[in-house]
Amino acid sequence: MSKPSIPQGTRDFNAATVHKRQYILNTIKHVFETFGFQPLETPAMENLETLMGKYGEEGDKLIFKILNNGLDNPAKEVQTKEGFDKILQGKSTTTITERALRYDLTIPFARYVAMNHGSLTFPFKRYQMQPVWRADRPQKGRYREFYQCDADIVGSESLINEVDLVSIYVTAFKALQLPVTIKVNNRKILLALAQVCGGEDKLIDLTIAIDKLDKIGWEKVQAELSTKGFNDQQQSVIHTYLNIAGTNQEKLTKLAELLAGNEHANKGIEELNFVLNYHQATGMASFIEADFTLARGLNYYTGIIFEVKANDAQMGSIGGGGRYDDLTGLFGVNNVPGVGISFGVDRIFDVLEEKQLFPATIEAGTQVLFFNLGEQEAAAAYLQMMQLRNKKIACEIYPEKSKFDKQFKYAEKKNIPHIVIIGSEELAASKCTVKNLASGQQNTISFEELTNYFD
RNA sequence: GAGGGUAUAGCUCAGUAGGUUAGAGCGACAGUUUGUGGCACUGUAGGUCGUGGGUUCGAGACCCAUUACUCUCCCCA
């Protein structure tokens, strides 16, 4: 018999952890609802074809596929064996796997909107907080099962939505007391840069290269650009682009000069200005940082993109999102533009834990332990305990008649602040002894007094 | 997909150049103390040293393979 274990990249959550996670989830949920978003839940599994091809080539490999439950029709045996050979070559096929675990919440949401667009009221604002799965190699801050919390608005092109989503980030992280920076960029600006430097078809090569800047440095980025066919003059423009610095306003002004005359650039800059100006008024502009190196992997983004970094923490992004003008187009429903953001709960958890930012009050366990001092005594204690429970005070009784020592230790281990002793002496007098474990003080009071003792 | 690191008691780890019966701390359990905990002291239980092979008179230690975990890169939340 081997030792029990759980799959790589998954975790059990003990009581303390669950309380802390609930605290994060409830905080975010409350913010979402305050901003007028409605909940949605979708199945853990989707049809494979719903997910395939939506996350790029790398993403496809990371989708957890679910093996079909054997052969439904004996006539398909040959076909299925061919399918198995494909799997061995690393390809996927519905003869072997028809379903897959969801990889994020955005594509299932797009699928939902496409299926229900006739009955939804637009603009449609939904939030969703559910686990997603990725067949990734786990490491720090990266799991195979983790929660995402998404808020999206579809059916509206207004930039007020972008403004609103930034407000959500600021409000939520303020509530969690976590200092963050919200990085913003615009895919239109990246597109403009690609046009100026050799054409739109180089957009992906370009974004991949510049995304690596802070990791590998300019020289290696330059080397990569060379191999991708960017000439010296183009590299020089890219270099200037990447070195734009200063305040958000200064950056945008310099960018406008560099990409002067490009239609997409003008539009992209205008959009960023809109959001920044709006937040000048709300006072939230200080959380926003224009970062033209921000690219984000998911290729369905078309407008403003976001990424949230915790200040002074060794952790990848703890949230991200952006505008996609044609997401449901993937499912045959056109003209449903949208914009959304996501919170990475598990990483937020890790950062809060590391920086010790969880409030001390969130672990609400048992408040009162009733000692068990014999059959009669326990029966009497049970009735008193139920009185307290009716008043919504968390209580429990020690199930075995044990020595004081043991019952005290149990209370300490569980951080139970009060104990109630009903022994033979108390029982005879219809009284009980209440002791505060932290202070060591104790009082002997009547049963009636006990009922109101913790009010 | 590429490359590191680790694997010894329930937990955290020692184990020195290969040498008798495998160690500590914490935890658990019991006792000193049968109606008052935290402290202290005493004792008890618990390990085919991840697995398989090899080298050797002798392997927890060295070599090979394998599995699991972990970290970095790629990519991402």
Confidence check: pLDDT of A441 > 90: no
- And the tokens for A5? 């274990």
Minimum-distance nucleotide, CA of A442 to C1': B36
What's the Å distance between residue A47 CA and nucleotide B77 C1'?
A: 23
Percent of chain A with pLDDT over 90: 51
Q: Mind listing the pLDDT tens digit for each residue in A126-139? A: 999 999 999 988 88
Measuring alpha carbon to C1', the residue closest to nucleotide B37 is A408
Interatomic CA–C1' length for residue A9 and nucleotide B4, angstroms:
19
The mean pLDDT value for A395-409 works out to: 88
DSSP H helices in A283-344: none
pTM higher than 0.80 for the full model? yes
Residue A262: which residues within 8 A CB-CB, separation 6 or more? A192, A195, A196
Nucleotides of B under 7 A from a protein CB: 1-2, 28-31, 33-38, 68-77
- Amino acid A407 CA to nucleotide B26 C1' distance, rounded Å: 21
Mean pLDDT of A318-338: 90
DSSP state at residue A332: T
* pLDDT tens-digit map of A329-344: 889 999 899 999 999 9
Interatomic separation, CA of residue A75 and C1' of nucleotide B77, rounded (Å): 43
pLDDT at residue A357 is higher than 90: no
Report CA A135 to chain centroid distance, whole Å: 17
DSSP state letters, A383-448: HHHHHHHHTT--EEE-SS---HHHHHHHHHHTT--EEEE--HHHHHHTEEEEEETTT--EEEEEHH
A1: pLDDT confidence band, cut at 50, 70 and 90? Answer: very low
Q: Strand A319-324's sheet: what is its strand order?
A: A38-39, A124-133, A145-154, A338-344, A319-324, A304-310, A180-186, A288-290
Q: Nearest residue to nucleotide B36 when comparing alpha carbons to its C1'?
A: A404
**Gap from A382 CA to B40 C1', Å:** 35
For residue A422, which nucleotide's C1' is closest to its Cα?
Answer: B35
Answer yes or no: is pLDDT of A199 > 80: no
Nucleotide nearest to A59 (CA to C1'): B75
Q: Provide the pLDDT confidence category of residue A90 given band limits of 50, 70 and 90.
A: low
A101 pLDDT higher than 70: yes
| Nearest nt by C1' to A142 Cα | B77
Among protein residues, the one whose C-alpha sits closest to the C1' atom of B77 is A344
Q: How many CB atoms lie within 10 A of CB A435?
A: 20
Q: What is the pLDDT of residues A275-285, one digit of tens each?
A: 999 999 999 99
Mean pLDDT of the residues in chain A: 88
Q: What is the amino acid identity at position A35? A: F
> CA at A142, C1' at B71: how many angstroms apart?
12
Q: Å between A409 CA and B21 C1'?
A: 37
Count Cβ atoms below 10 Å from residue A253 Cβ, excluding itself.
14
The answer to whether the CB of A238 falls within 8 A of the CB of A193 is: yes
ipTM of the complex: 0.82
Say whether pLDDT at A2 is over 60. no
Backbone angles phi, psi at A436, to 5 degrees: -90, 115
Alpha helices, H only, A212-307:
213-227, 232-242, 248-258, 263-282
- A87 or A151, greater pLDDT: A151
CA of A131 to C1' of B25 (A): 39
Residue whose CA lies closest to nucleotide B75 C1': A58
Sequence-ordered list of residues with C-beta below 8 angstroms from that of A413, at least 6 positions apart, any chain: none
Instruction: Name the most confidently modeled range: A11-20, A252-261, A270-279.
Output: A270-279
pLDDT average, residue stretch A71-99: 77
Q: Closest nt to A140 (CA→C1')?
A: B71
What distance in Å separates the CA atoms of residue A78 and residue A114, rounded to the nearest whole number?
Answer: 35
Q: How far is the CA of A4 from the C1' of B20 (A)?
A: 36
d(CA A182, CA A322) in angstroms, rounded, equals: 12
CA of A428 and C1' of B37: distance in angstroms? 25
Q: Which residue is nearest to nucleotide B70 (CA to C1')?
A: A139
